[in-house]
Chain A
Amino acid sequence: MASSDMSSEPLLRATNVHKRFDSVEVLKGIDLDVAQGEVVAIIGSSGSGKTTMLRCINLLEEYDDGEIHIDGETIGYRIVGGVRKRLRESAIADQRARIGMVFQGFNLFPHMTAEQNVMLGLTKVQKMPKAEARDRAVHWLDRVGLAERREHYPYQLSGGQQQRVAIARAVAMDPRLVLFDEVTSALDPELVAEVLSVMKSLAESGMTMLVVSHEMLFVRDVATRVVFMDGGRIAAEGPPAEVMGNPSSERLRSFLGRFHGLFG
């Protein structure tokens, strides 16, 4: 990815992002930078806007105001004479291909094997030859510990295995940034650890990650920075030890208090 004249910008820069659903404003001006190699965790109670923020970054939701840049390029819009114009669907698709996303509900294509799920974006979006795409898929399925299961369909896999395939599908595209949207929330407790350990190993390999999560131990151990969202705004931000160890506000203290015992 060639860096442009905007190369002084961080990988992701969101400025003053606003989003409303009808009369409810869920994002009230978010400013967020993510530098290459950072693992940024977004925490906050449900309804605080953290998932919406994540979904705006690859335009699964359209933001109403502000700008989101990836490598200096505005996501989803261009400004023509001071007016925002939505990009063509094909241009948006090309932008999305550079941003990986892992969903709470896995969303593996149910009619494809694990390997086919990983290969689809490689062959159809990146136009990679089939053999090369298969090698890449096998490599990543191996990285998430599922090389043996590559011929399995999603319904033949456990939730934790499905989520690991979904991670492989996202990272195999060699994205600049991977978004994780509460990826362990739909899992049985005993399956959470296998997914978190895959994410930890990705983080250690230098992948840039933006993670919405309620797994506070994971956040504390793996994130390089924590962002606490409250009521559509960023209410606190900093290294995990600082934000979680020494909460700056009553709201944050009471939010973290729900995970009591973890930070005693």
Chain B
Amino acid sequence: MIDYQFNFDVIWRNWDNFLGALGMGLGLAAASLTLGAILGLGLAAARISGKRWLDRPVWLYVELVRNTPLLLLIFFVYFGLPEIGIYVLDKYHSFILTLTLYAAAYMCEVFRAGLTSIPNGYLEAGKAIGLRPAQRARYVMLPMMFRITLPAMSNNFISLFKDTSLAAAIAVPELTFTARQVNANTFRVVEAWLTASILYLAAAYLIAWALRRVERRYAMIR
């Protein structure tokens, strides 16, 4: 029989902590996605440049990052870098750096696929009206790539948001870390994890809903 007595008082007393922690997770994800997208776009450009000396190192980087557990990367950057003499990062910046590098590897592949899926005819149309290469990139390739990759970027953002829970491992006070603290201080185990789970779920669902609206707004074919 289940005879667990629920008591959510401790949750309400810590409600501000939970919300703050949720905001922290969203902020970490947004910062990493933004920086990761910028870096990823550069990496994708290198991948499709047709120059081996640009393409191969980026390929290696992407494969290394994508085939390594994120938690290990977090530990490597946070504990490993100081060992080799790089002390400049506090745990927040360390985590954002890690998640950015991680996101960039995934975004690189998303953008590369998006760029190579643009039918050549549109680029030729851009050439035919006399657009220069940079103008073709800016007015034809990037807007089309953005629209093609929006669904994949949405998925990435939600994944990154959930991945911020790993920041708990280096004591960044986000949602998972906060739930563990409340749990440790009050022994309300189920309530703490249940609350964290529901907040993750609600936030991820809201993000997905909002991004679907953006996708519909920018869809080229409805």
- A residues near B (Cβ < 8 Å) are 58, 60, 89-90, 93-101, 103, 105, 107-111, 120-121, 124-125, 153, 155, 166, 169-170, 173
Contact = CB atoms under 8 A, between A and B. Distances in A.
Interface stretch (B64-72, B97-105, B138-146): B138-146
Interface stretch (B19-27, B124-132, B174-182): B124-132
The interface size bin for chain B is 20 to 34
Max chain A CB contacts within 10 Å: which of B122, B128, B130, B132?
A: B128
Instruction: Summarize B's interface: helix, strand, loop or mixed.
Output: helix
B49 interface: no
Contacts of A121: 129-131
Interface of B: 121-122, 124-133, 135, 139-140, 143-144, 147, 218, 220-222
Given A100-B128, A109-B139, 13 more contacts: A58-B128, A93-B130, A93-B132, A93-B133, A97-B129, A103-B121, A108-B125, A109-B144, A110-B144, A110-B220, A125-B129, A125-B135, A170-B129
A153 to B, nearest CB: 7
Contacts of A97: 129-130
Contacts of B133: 89-90, 93
A45 to B, nearest CB: 23
A111 to B, nearest CB: 5
A217 B7 CA distance: 85
Given A103-B121, A105-B121, A124 B135 contact: yes
B127 A93 contact: yes
Nearest to B128: A101
Max chain B CB contacts within 10 Å: which of A95, A111, A170?
A: A111
21 contacts: A90-B133, A96-B127, A96-B130, A100-B128, A105-B121, A107-B122, A109-B126, A109-B139, A109-B140, A110-B122, A110-B144, A121-B130, A124-B131, A125-B129, A125-B130, A125-B131, A125-B135, A153-B220, A166-B125, A169-B125, A170-B129
